[in-house]
Amino acid sequence: MRISLSALALVPTLLLAAPQPLTIYTSPVSSTSNTPATLLTLNYDPTTLSAEILSYNPPKDIPSGDPKATSSPLTRIFLNNPSSSPSVATSILSFSPTYQKTLILHVDDAGEIYHIGFATSGRGVQSPPNKAGNGENDHSAAEDEILVEVVKKGVGPQVHFNKPVVLNKEGKVEGKEPEKSFIQKYWWAIALFLLIQLVAGGGGGDEKK
């Protein structure tokens, strides 16, 4: 059976278009252990820029306190390993149930993940616990505990060189008129002041005579 070259060329495209399984890990920053813990398992679709949560396993034995405190222990969130993959460090207190957590996947134009972000916010109304399970390998519980947001890389401002000069009907460059000087703006006030000085000076001379 013959396989055309065009069909072979479509194979990488189809593989890229298929949803990709992703595993997000955590590891304490101060820990010497090389065994990371699984935080999230996802199905990431680079074509639709969407991510489906399959399981969520938050760190256990989270102490109470303010996650913004400088003394709180830090943990690193990463894809494969903290040294060669996108990662972000956050306080272990950020995983407290009192906070709404959002994992942010920053992707480029091709849908490849180049950075990871993590944000927390206060909950308005505390959601009731899921009675079907404890959150591990439970899709509905995972959605209640953490959100995943995919953000595509934006295009920054572009510098345009050799931009053509646009002239108006009078042959002048279009644009903002040059700002007037102080004398051009207030010539009438200066003239009025000088006139008053001349009139006042003439009147004073007649009185002396």
Residue 179 lies in a domain: no
pLDDT at 10 (0 to 100): 47
Q: What percent of the chain has pLDDT over 90?
A: 26
Domain, as residue range, for 108: 15-152
**Per-residue pLDDT averaged across 54-67, rounded?**
80
Q: Tell me the CA distances in angstroms from 205 to 62, 120, 191, 192, 199, one per residue in order.
A: 94, 82, 22, 20, 10
Residue 2 lies in a domain: no
* CB-CB contact of 121 with 99 (8 Å): yes
The confidence band for 80, taking pLDDT boundaries of 50, 70 and 90, is: confident
Q: Please count the structural domains in the chain.
A: 1
pLDDT of 141 > 70? The answer is no
**Per-residue pLDDT averaged across 35-54, rounded?**
92
More confident residue, 63 or 68: 63
Residue 90 lies in a domain: yes
Residue 143 lies in a domain: yes
Residue 72 lies in a domain: yes
